[in-house]
Amino acid sequence: MTSEVLVVVHAAATWFMTGLIWFVHVVHYPLFAAVGDDAFVGYERRHVQRTSWVVGPPMVTELTATLWLVAISPSLLTWIGVALLVVVWGTTWVLAVPRHAELERGFDERAHARLVSSNIVRTLAWTARSLVAAALLFA
């Protein structure tokens, strides 16, 4: 794969995830509160299962492209991209996954509020990554 193609793949995966995280942050997560207690456990389980199929491939693509870019063309921008990806993956595993585990036992307003408020970290990190991807693409 040429470095030009790699930069395009990187940008596409990053921009896809940025759009998706904004949708999740503004629309999807806030609507959890409207599901209702009786249906919530099943809803949350299906959410986690289905979301994994949607976010898994582009997140792995983005990670692979980012690491490949920093390996073949280390620069301040590629290292900033790596740092932001560490924030994204770290907050996913440290903040989001445990909140979803709590919510799989039933809707809890505090867990839901922590999920929504902590998700802004991923949302802003992916937004910053989109700017890095654009800078790499148009450099």
**pLDDT, tens digit, 9 for 90 and up, residues 2-37:** 799 999 999 999 999 999 999 999 999 999 999 998
**Is residue 1 over pLDDT 70?**
no
Number of domains in the chain: 1
Gap between the Cα atoms of 103 and 126, Å rounded? 24
**Is residue 104 over pLDDT 70?**
yes
**40: how many CB neighbours lie within 10 A of its CB?**
21
pLDDT score for 137? 93
Find out whether 114 and 129 touch, Cβ atoms under 8 Å: no
pLDDT score for 102? 95
Domain that holds residue 92: 3-138
- Indicate the average pLDDT of the chain: 95
> What pTM does this model have?
0.92
